[in-house]
Every structure is written in C-alpha cells, then in structure tokens.
Amino acid sequence: MRTQVGIIGAGPAGLMLAHLLHLEGIDSVVLETRGRAYVESRVRAGVLEHDTAQLLADTGVGARMRREGLVHTGLELRFEGVSRRIDLAALTSGRGITVYGQQEVVKDLIAARLAAGGEILFDVTDVELAGIDSDAPVIRFAHEGTIRELNCLVVAGCDGFHGVSRGSIPASARRTVEHTYPFSWLGVLAQAAPSAHELIYAQHERGFALHSMRSPEVTRLYLQVPNGTESSDWPTARIWDELHTRLATNDGFTLKEGPILEQGVTPMRSFVTEPMRYGQLFLAGDAAHIVPPTGAKGLNLAIADVRFLAEALTTWFRQGRGTGLDEYSARCLRRIWRVQHFSSWMTGLLHRPADADEFSHRLQVAQLEYVTTSTAAATTLAENYVGLPLDWSSRVDTPVTPTVPFA
Ligand code: APR
Ligand code: PHB
C-alpha cells in the first residue's frame, strides 16, 4: 500500500487531519486499532471552542453540529453558595462555545471521509513505524489476519496518549515535561434534562463539581475524587448526594436526577512531549500532550495541531517548501503551553487539594471574586475559554501591543 500521509489513529486529530488534507488534494490512509462502533461511542469531552466549531462548519462537516450542538454564550462559576455568570460573548466580541460530544465529531468525520472515498482501516493490530528518519517511512501492521505495509512520505502520529508513535522517537531525541495533580475526576452521564442552560463550574469545600450536558435530555456531570478512586466506590446514591451538596446554592438550585448511563474515573495530568517532530514523523493531539480537563481544551488543542500540520503539509506537497514543517513543533508548542497554563490555572482555581488550609481556601475565594467582578480578569478567562485565535502565537514576538484580541 502507498499513500502520501500515513495517519495513525482515528480520533479527532487523525480524522480531521485526513479531512483537511483531502480538501487540499492530498492522499492519506488512517489506521485505527479499535473498531468503528467503539470509536463512535466512546464518551469523551464535549466543548468545542468557537474556531473549532467554525472549522467543522467551514469544511463541510458541521451540519449536524449546527443542528444538534448547543451554543453557549456564557458559563457559571459557583462558590460560597452563589453563582456568578461569565458572559463569554460580551467579553470576546460575540464568541462562545458549542456543546457537542467528541464522539459525535468523530462520527461526522468518519462519515465524511468514507463518503469521499477516504480509506480508514479499523481493527488493525501490531502497528510499527520504520524509517521515520528517512524520506521513505513505512508503517507495518496486521489487518484481517495479514501483515501489511503502508509506504508513505510522511507519518502523522495521532494515536493518543497510549499510542505507539511517541515511543517510536528515540528517547535521546525527545523530552517530556509532566505534572500529576493530586486528584481525579469521576465523570457521569445521566439520562436527565440539564438543570441549567449553561455549564456550572463549582468550587466547594468538599471538592470541585461540574454540571455539563450533551443534549436537552442528557446531563454530563463530574466530581473531584481522590487519586486511586475506583468507580465502584461510587454507587448511584452517593454520586447524587455529593452532586447535590457541591452544586447547592443559597437560593435553592435544584439538580435534576435521572438514570446513570455511564460512569468512570479519569486521572488529571499535564504532559508535553518536545519536539513534536522526528524526521518524517509528526505528532499531533493527545499523542504529544495532555491537559487537565478543567479548561475543556484537549479536543480543541488536537484540532489546532492538525490545522497547523495540514497547512504545513500542503505547502510542502504543493511547493516543495519545508519551512512550515520545520516550524510545526514550535508553532504548536506555543499554543500548547498557553493552554497548559490556562488549564492548570482553572484547575487550581476550582479544586480543593487534600492538604488545603484556611489560607489557600481564602486565596481561592478572593480569586473567584476577582474573576467574576473585574472585566480584565473575566476577559482573561473568557478569551482563553472560547479559544484564542489560531494565529495568536505569532503575537508572542510582539508582546506589548495594546490591541483587543478579538477586534
Ligand atoms: N495504532 C493505531 N491507532 C491507535 C493506536 C495504534 N497503536 N493506539 C491508539 N490508537 C487510536 C485510539 O484507539 C484512538 O482512537 O488512536 C486514537 C487516538 O484518539 P484520541 O485518544 O481521541 O486522541 P486525539 O485524536 O489526539 O484527540 C484528542 O481530546 O478530549 C480530548 O483527550 C481527549 O481524546 C481526546 C482528545
Ligand atoms: C464535558 O461536557 O464533558 C466537559 C465540559 C467542560 C469541561 C470538561 C468536560 O471543562
């Protein structure tokens, strides 16, 4: 088999890359270890930044998202029994987020690729990279009982945190920066109408809680839990009790309950691999970086990476110029570190570490009051939450221009 770009992983990064390359007339083949039904039903994140949603729409894969996705122009920060709204749209010249499950994005991208004659091989095993430091890389894998080879000019490693791509780069040619947070999230999907129109991020002395949603009938909820927690430690009644307590307000907020469809525990981690290129292998998405979910950025960062990569590959294939590919890693990493900071800042603002004392609690409340009353502080949250413009990182070279980011 032969193609221009061999893409490992059919998550949002790999599928979006295949789609963007196709629009530029560049061939790719996507290899995925899981089955199609599995990747289309795996419950993950659900918040699309303004530009992520716009990209889906602009490239012809946003029709269902525009119909079924929930556009939010604000969010609530809840602490000390009160809720304060951050008006995202007012603070960012009309931008907002779209709540639309990651697996719905994945379904739409798979459908578009297949309709356009694109090749996605599901249920592959034993994926191995060879020759990535040459101009003729090869991906070896097994599919339907046969060992196969995909010859390509470029390999895109979009195979998530547990994939093989990152480990194919010699240890001497990469470094990782990592931070583990002292808590995890218990995520719950409930067959219940959302209890508010917008997302609620709650800081509480018993720990963080988040009210999100997937549709007018399905609520997505999260609770901060200690590391090492097993999902089975949390029977249904305990989950609802804790959510009621942490989301309570002084003016009688009521949380709607319903049957729990799914629950699971996710650790919170920050992780970055540098650089994101080795020879002809380019890493994108979770294969290169993980952010804690508090800022809702994992999926959006993956999409930003592949936008940069598709642009650089287009210049390379069309004009033979490799400068975009040479700059790919640095360009991505500027955005990644901005998002790492934002995600870690949101996490610190809202979670309660096990060793929290009165001092740290008071600082947290003071910061929450500031963020919800000062336009400058609220704008910082809002512009990062709806997503900085894609070309934001080019401004790093000219830092002090006093312009409004969303003019
Ligand atoms: N070969 C081929 N495919 C693989 C391999 C492998 N060796 N290992 C993993 N995969 C597949 C996974 O099964 C998965 O479908 O690669 C895909 C990676 O997809 P994601 O984990 O979704 O990562 P990414 O596309 O970078 O999306 C970023 O945003 O919401 C966040 O962390 C969340 O998934 C998320 C992400
Ligand atoms: C979600 O809906 O799954 C979600 C929303 C906001 C977050 C994280 C996850 O910060």
Q: Cα–Cα distance between 236 and 232 in angstroms, integer?
A: 10
Q: Could you tell me if 24 and 169 are in contact, meaning their C-beta atoms sit under 8 angstroms apart? A: no
The pLDDT score that the predictor gives to residue 397 is 57
| Closest ligand, as measured to the CA of 140 | 1
The pLDDT score that the predictor gives to residue 399 is 53
Give the pLDDT confidence of 234-289 residue by residue, as tens digits. 999 999 999 999 999 999 899 999 999 999 999 999 999 999 999 999 999 999 99
CA distances from 81 to 77, 177, 249 (A): 10, 37, 4
| Closest ligand, as measured to the CA of 199 | 2
- The rounded percent of the chain whose pLDDT value lies above 70 is 96
- Bridge partners, residue 143, by sequence: 146
What is the DSSP pairing of strand 260-274 with strand 289-290? antiparallel
What would the two tokens of residue 90 be? 């007012």
- Selecting among 19, 22, 50, 72, the annotated active-site residue is 72
Angle between helices 323-350 and 358-371 (to 10 degrees): 120
Q: Give the SS3 label for residue 337.
A: helix
Query: Which ligand 1 atom sits nearest the alpha carbon of residue 44?
Result: 30
The pLDDT score that the predictor gives to residue 339 is 97
Q: What is the pTM of this model?
A: 0.96
The pLDDT score that the predictor gives to residue 314 is 98
Give the pLDDT confidence of 199-244 residue by residue, as tens digits. 999 999 999 999 999 999 999 999 999 999 999 999 999 999 999 9
Give the pLDDT confidence of 140-173 residue by residue, as tens digits. 999 999 999 999 999 999 999 999 999 999 999 9
Read off the DSSP letter of residue 4: S
Q: Give the SS3 label for residue 75.
A: strand
The pLDDT score that the predictor gives to residue 354 is 85
> Atom 21 in ligand 1: which residue has the minimum CA distance?
160
Q: In what order do the strands lie in the sheet with 28-31?
A: 119-121, 28-31, 5-8, 154-157, 281-283, 277-278
Read off the DSSP letter of residue 221: E
Ligand 1 mean position to 159 CA, how many Å?
A: 4
Q: How far is C-alpha 377 from the geometric centre of its chain's CA atoms?
A: 24
Residues near ligand 1 with C-beta < 6 Å? Answer: 8-14, 31-34, 39, 44-45, 102, 127, 158-160, 162-164, 285-286, 298-299, 302
Q: Could you tell me if 180 and 226 are in contact, meaning their C-beta atoms sit under 8 angstroms apart? A: no
> Atom 2 in ligand 1: which residue has the minimum CA distance?
32
Q: Could you tell me if 178 and 161 are in contact, meaning their C-beta atoms sit under 8 angstroms apart? A: no
Q: Could you tell me if 176 and 340 are in contact, meaning their C-beta atoms sit under 8 angstroms apart? A: no
Q: Could you tell me if 51 and 28 are in contact, meaning their C-beta atoms sit under 8 angstroms apart? A: no
- Selecting among 100, 222, 278, 385, the annotated active-site residue is 385
The pLDDT score that the predictor gives to residue 367 is 97
| Residue 141 half-sphere exposure toward CB, CA atoms < 13 A | 25
Catalytic, 38? Answer: no
Average the pLDDT over 19-26 and give the result.
98
Q: Could you tell me if 352 and 207 are in contact, meaning their C-beta atoms sit under 8 angstroms apart? A: yes
Which of 18-22, 173-177, 393-397 has the lowest average pLDDT? Answer: 393-397
Catalytic, 292? Answer: no
Vertex 23, ends 19 and 27: CA angle to 5°? 70
Which one is predicted more confidently, 405 or 347? 347
Which of 270-284, 322-336, 379-393 has the lowest average pLDDT? Answer: 379-393
Catalytic, 162? Answer: no
């002084």: which residue's tokens?
A: 250
Beta carbon of 297 within 6 Å of any ligand 2 atom: no
Average the pLDDT over 36-56 and give the result.
95
Alpha helices by DSSP H, listed for 86-207, are: 88-91, 102-115, 165-168
Q: Cα–Cα distance between 122 and 32 in angstroms, integer?
A: 5
Q: What is the mean pLDDT of the chain?
A: 95
Ligand 2 mean position to 209 CA, how many Å?
A: 11
Q: Could you tell me if 349 and 368 are in contact, meaning their C-beta atoms sit under 8 angstroms apart? A: yes
The pLDDT score that the predictor gives to residue 392 is 74
CA distances from 260 to 219, 300, 356, 374 (A): 10, 27, 31, 38
Give the pLDDT confidence of 291-301 residue by residue, as tens digits. 999 999 999 99
Ligand 1 mean position to 37 CA, how many Å?
A: 14
Q: Could you tell me if 180 and 291 are in contact, meaning their C-beta atoms sit under 8 angstroms apart? A: no
Q: Cα–Cα distance between 262 and 191 in angstroms, integer?
A: 10
pLDDT beyond 70 at 401? no
pLDDT beyond 70 at 404? no
Query: Which ligand 2 atom sits nearest the alpha carbon of residue 220?
Result: 2
Which of 42, 43, 47 to mutate to test ligand 2, by most ligand atoms within 8 A of the CB atom?
47
